[in-house]
C-alpha cells in the first residue's frame, strides 16, 4: 500500500522540505541541480536558511487565520550562500496578475537594500571608527530570484527552465555582472526533454510527493519527510486545513482556463483571475462572519471593503 504523503506544493510541505534546520542538504541539492543547468552556474557549498521551518509559530494562529494564510499562493524561502549571495525561492501555486513585475520589483529591492551601508574599521588606537568612503556599492551582494510555477507560465515556450539576466543582445555583453542578478523560473508541468534527470525528478516529486526510480538521495529523504506517518499531530492538523482549501485553488485555475477558451487567452486569464479571486474572498468572508470574527479582521484577511462585508452580514442575517 502506498504511503500517504503531503505535497511539496503546500505551504507545510514546501517549508518542511526546504527550510528544516539540519536538513539543509536537501535545499542545497535542489539549488545545485538548478545551477548545474546554467552555463554560468555556481557550486553550492553551504546554504543558510533565513526563515527556517517552525510549525509552532504557524500553529499559534487560529483555525480561521491559517485558513486565510494557506489560501495564499505564494510560498517563499530566503537563504544565503557562503559568498553573501541571497536567494529568494518562491513556489507559485496559482496564477497572479503582474507576477513578473512583482518578482522583479522584490528582487531589485533585495539587491539595493544594503546600498550605502556603514563600514567600521579599527583605527590606530584600536577603536572602531566609521568609514564610508567608497563603500556605497561594496555592500551590494548578488541576488538570485528562483521561482517555481505549478502551471504553464511561459505558454509560447517548450522549455521548463528559464534564466534571465540584464544582457545586451547586440554587443553580447552583460549590462550588469552576470553573477550579480539572476531570475530563474522552473515550470513543473512542462515536459522538457533537455532537462537533467535530477530536475525531472524534482518536477515529479513536487507535483506528486513521490520520488521516481533513480532519484538522488536527497529527494528520497524529502519524500520520507512528507510521509503522513512521520508528521507530528500539529502538522497533520495543519495539513488537513490546507487540503480542505486546496480545491478552491484548483477551482480558480479551472475558471481561468474556461474564460481563456471563450474570451481569448489574454482577456480570459485576466478576467478569470480577478473573478476567481473575488468569489474566493466572498466565500471566505462568509465563513469568517459565521465564526463571528470582527469586520476589521475579515477585511484584513480578505481585502474586501467594510461596506461589502456589512452587506454580506445583512444577507446572512436575512
Q: Distance between CA atoms of 291 and 112, rounded to whole angstroms?
A: 43
Question: 234-262, pLDDT tens digit by residue?
Answer: 888 777 766 666 655 555 555 555 555 55
**For residue 132, what pLDDT is reported?**
46
Question: 154-199, pLDDT tens digit by residue?
Answer: 988 999 999 998 888 888 888 878 888 899 999 999 999 999 999 9
Q: Distance between CA atoms of 80 and 78, rounded to whole angstroms?
A: 7
Asked if the model's pLDDT at residue 1 lies above 60, the reply is: no
Asked if the model's pLDDT at residue 54 lies above 80, the reply is: no
β-strand pairing of 128-131 with 119-122: antiparallel
> Which of 32-46, 120-134, 285-299 shows the lowest mean pLDDT across its residues?
120-134
**Average predicted confidence (pLDDT) for the chain:** 79
Amino acid at each position: 500500500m502506498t504511503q500517504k504523503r503531503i505535497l511539496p506544493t503546500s505551504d507545510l510541505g514546501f517549508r518542511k522540505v526546504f527550510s528544516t534546520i539540519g536538513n539543509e542538504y536537501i535545499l542545497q541539492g535542489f539549488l545545485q541541480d538548478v545551477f548545474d543547468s546554467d552555463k554560468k552556474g555556481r557550486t553550492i557549498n553551504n546554504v543558510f536558511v533565513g526563515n527556517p521551518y517552525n510549525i509552532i509559530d504557524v500553529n499559534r494562529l487560529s483555525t480561521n487565520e491559517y485558513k486565510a494564510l494557506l489560501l495564499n499562493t505564494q510560498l517563499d524561502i530566503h537563504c544565503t550562500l557562503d559568498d553573501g549571495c541571497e536567494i529568494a525561492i518562491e513556489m507559485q501555486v496559482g496564477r497572479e496578475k503582474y507576477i513578473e513585475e512583482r518578482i522583479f520589483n522584490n528582487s531589485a529591492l533585495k539587491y539595493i537594500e544594503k546600498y550605502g551601508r556603514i563600514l567600521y574599521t579599527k583605527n590606530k588606537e584600536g577603536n572602531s571608527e566609521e568609514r564610508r568612503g567608497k563603500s556605497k556599492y561594496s555592500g551590494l551582494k548578488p541576488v538570485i530570484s528562483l521561482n517555481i510555477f505549478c502551471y504553464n507560465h511561459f505558454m509560447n515556450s517548450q522549455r521548463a527552465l528559464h534564466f534571465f539576466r540584464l544582457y545586451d543582445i547586440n554587443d553580447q555583453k552583460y549590462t550588469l555582472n552576470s553573477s550579480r542578478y539572476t531570475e530563474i523560473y522552473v515550470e513543473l508541468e512542462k515536459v522538457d526533454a533537455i532537462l537533467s534527470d535530477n530536475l525531472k525528478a524534482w518536477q515529479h516529486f513536487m507535483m506528486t510527493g513521490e520520488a521516481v526510480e533513480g532519484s538522488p538521495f536527497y529527494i528520497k529523504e524529502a519524500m520520507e519527510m512528507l510521509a503522513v506517518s512521520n508528521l507530528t499531530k500539529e502538522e497533520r492538523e495543519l495539513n488537513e486545513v490546507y487540503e480542505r482549501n486546496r480545491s478552491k485553488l484548483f477551482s480558480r485555475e479551472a475558471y481561468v482556463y474556461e474564460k481563456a477558451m471563450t474570451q481569448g487567452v489574454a482577456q480570459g486569464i485576466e478576467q478569470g483571475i480577478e473573478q476567481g479571486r473575488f468569489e474566493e474572498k466572498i466565500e471566505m468572508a462568509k465563513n469568517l462572519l459565521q465564526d463571528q470574527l470582527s469586520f476589521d479582521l475579515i477585511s484584513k484577511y480578505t481585502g474586501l471593503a467594510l461596506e461589502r462585508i456589512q452587506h454580506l452580514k445583512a444577507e446572512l442575517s436575512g
